Amino acid sequence: MRRVYAHEEICMGCGLCEVYCTLWHSKSKELIKAFRREQPKPISRIRLVQEKPISFAVQCRHCDDAPCVFACLSGAMHIDEKTGLIMHDDEKCVGCLTCIMVCPFGAIKIDPYRHKVVAKCDLCQGLDIPACVANCPNEALTLEEVQPR
């Protein structure tokens, strides 16, 4: 399976990863429409964290033995049998926040526009290269093949 790695030495903190993540997770996938008119508003599943001079982007690490999966009260957080990725089913989620309590990376967000749902990285299903990696102007995010679980 594949995993995105952040390289803090070359991250400029521009935040384009968040922009393109939001865009890919919008309905229209059109920049202006997605940010201005879509309801509910799309949100980024990657988070740029910084404490100057350090900055890098964090998203779901798709952990082996992912604690969020075993903490989930509704069964929304699950391991995809085919890809091994940790996936989140919006329809099942009740926003209990238990996954947020146990994620070592703080990589799960509360979706403020949709009541009681969380959001996280799905490695951009449908894209060869996740939007954050493809659009990082400095190649501070790379996609790497790792041993499957």
Partner 1 sequence: MTKYVIVGGSAGAVGAVEAIREVDPIGDIVVINDEPTPAYSRPMIADYLSGGVSQEKMLFPAKDFWDNHKVQMKLGKRAVKLDLLKKTVKLENNEKVVFDKLLIATGGEPFIPRMEGTSREGIYNFITMLDARGIEEAIAKAEKVVVIGGGLIGVSATEALVKRGLKVTIVELKDWILNLILDKEAAKIVEKVMRENGVSIMTGHTVQRILGKGDNDNDVGGVVLGNGTVIECDVIVVAVGVVPRTELAAQTDLKVNRGILVDRFMQTSVPDVYACGDVAEAYDFIHKTQRVLALWPVARIGGRVAGYNMAGQKREYPGGTAMSAIHYFGVPVISAGLTTVDEADGYETLIFLDQEAGIYRKIILKEGTIVGMTLIRDVERAGILFNLMKNQIKVEEFKHKLTADTFSLASFPETLRKQLLLGV
Site residues (CB under 8 A) for partner 1? 3, 5-6, 8, 47, 49-51, 54-56, 58, 61-64, 67, 70-71, 73-75, 91-92, 94-106, 108-110, 116
Whether 142 contacts 59, CB under 8 Å: no
Element spanning 31, H or E: helix 31-36
* 31 vs 101 by CB, closer to partner 1: 101
The CA-based angle 89-60-51, given to 5 degrees, is 140
Nearest distance, CB of residue 122 and partner 1, angstroms: 17
Nearest distance, CB of residue 30 and partner 1, angstroms: 28
* 31 vs 73 by CB, closer to partner 1: 73
In whole angstroms, what is the distance from residue 98 CA to residue 123 CA? 22
Nearest distance, CB of residue 55 and partner 1, angstroms: 7
3 state DSSP class of 7: coil
Which letter, b or e, does each residue of 3-17 get, where b requires 16 or more Cβ atoms within 10 Å of its Cβ? bbebeeeebebeebb
* 13 vs 134 by CB, closer to partner 1: 13
Structure token pair of residue 17: 């990863």
Nearest distance, CB of residue 131 and partner 1, angstroms: 20
Scan for tokens 């690490």, then name that residue. 61
* 91 vs 145 by CB, closer to partner 1: 91
Nearest distance, CB of residue 82 and partner 1, angstroms: 15
